[in-house]
Amino acid sequence: MIWHVQNENFILDSTRIFMKAFHLLLFHGSFIFPECILIFGLILLLMIDSTSDQKDRPWFYFISSTSLVISITALLFRWREEPIISFSGNFQTNNFNEIFQFLILLCSTLCIPLSVEYIECTEMAITEFLLFVLTATLGGMFLCGANDLITIFVAPECFSLCSYLLSGYTKRDVRSNEATTKYLLMGGASSSILVHGFSWLYGLSGGEIELQEIVNGLINTQMYNSPGISIALISITVGIGFKLSPAPFHQWTPDIYEGVRFVRQIPTSISISEMFGFFKTP
């Protein structure tokens, strides 16, 4: 009997969460239209790759490149609109964000034709490579518009995981395997330090996750001059430093670039989006 009641409560809670998510997507989906185009391209690539007997590579290139180009076009048509905060304050859209989203899309669009020849010569799987590039681009675009701590953490992890896989994509190369191992360890450590800093901000602000609400919470609780803020800022700076690899956090970077042979633009676009998403102030 108790199990039956708990099961009903779980179904009701799940239905309520699903309806709320559907409501947000229905009324705020237009604000993330360029990102939705990339998501549609990812789904289309997966469907074609899983159902097609003959792996027609030109179709994969065409779908991925077309989704990126259409996303850029949608981004340009949205230019000069008023700043909007959507998804219950989790995402914001303005022209400043769209500049960095455009740079990320442009870098990813150039990555594909620059990497095609090497992938074809080495006979590596092309579908997975395109999926990783599109997913990393998607994470970078969401990071540019992030307006709360959860989105700021989840978005870079989305493209960080893809970056780990891309750095070790040439798995027969020893240097590529070494690059993946170092990148994964440093990325995991930096993410842990970053989350530790976010937890300090969350607690000191009175349980707020939105950027502007964190500032207001620190002012209301009179904790903006406390030692905890120094710990939070140091942790966030160290976490960001290892992800962006500026001096003195750059020792691991040369090995990663040495292992990633087929494309050089991906770390650049990721660094641009991370720098903007993390250092953006309300």
- pLDDT for 211-254, tens place per residue? 888 888 888 877 778 888 889 989 988 888 887 777 777 777 77
Question: Does 248 sit behind a cis peptide bond, omega within 30 degrees of 0 on the bond before it?
Answer: yes
The yes-or-no verdict on residue 129 having pLDDT over 50 is: yes
Cβ neighbours around 65 below 10 Å, total: 16
The yes-or-no verdict on residue 171 having pLDDT over 80 is: no
| Tokens encoding 99 | 């500049």
The pLDDT confidence band at residue 99, using thresholds 50, 70 and 90, is confident
User: Tokens 């953490």, residue?
Assistant: 153
Distance CA 54, CA 49 (A): 9
Instruction: Determine whether 79 is exposed, middle or buried from the number of CB atoms within 10 Å of its CB (0-12, 13-18, 19+).
Output: exposed
Q: Looking at residue 158, what is its pLDDT?
A: 86
The pLDDT confidence band at residue 7, using thresholds 50, 70 and 90, is low
Top pLDDT among 24 and 133 is at 133
Top pLDDT among 248 and 184 is at 184
The yes-or-no verdict on residue 268 having pLDDT over 60 is: no
The yes-or-no verdict on residue 4 having pLDDT over 70 is: no
Q: Looking at residue 56, what is its pLDDT?
A: 64
Question: No. of H helices and E strands in the chain?
Answer: 11, 2
Q: Looking at residue 19, what is its pLDDT?
A: 55
User: Tokens 């691991």, residue?
Assistant: 252
Q: Looking at residue 275, what is its pLDDT?
A: 47
Top pLDDT among 94 and 21 is at 94
Q: Looking at residue 54, what is its pLDDT?
A: 59
The yes-or-no verdict on residue 282 having pLDDT over 70 is: no
The pLDDT confidence band at residue 271, using thresholds 50, 70 and 90, is very low
Q: Looking at residue 276, what is its pLDDT?
A: 47
Q: What is the arithmetic mean of pLDDT over 88-94? A: 76
Q: What is the arithmetic mean of pLDDT over 258-278? A: 51
* Radius of gyration of the CA atoms of the chain, in A: 21
Distance CA 192, CA 273 (A): 19
The yes-or-no verdict on residue 279 having pLDDT over 60 is: no
Q: What is the arithmetic mean of pLDDT over 53-78? A: 82
Q: Looking at residue 281, what is its pLDDT?
A: 40
Beta strands in 66-186 (DSSP E): 84-86, 91-93
Instruction: Determine whether 47 is exposed, middle or buried from the number of CB atoms within 10 Å of its CB (0-12, 13-18, 19+).
Output: exposed
Q: Looking at residue 63, what is its pLDDT?
A: 86
The yes-or-no verdict on residue 273 having pLDDT over 70 is: no
3-state helix, strand, coil in the chain (%, to 5): 75, 5, 20
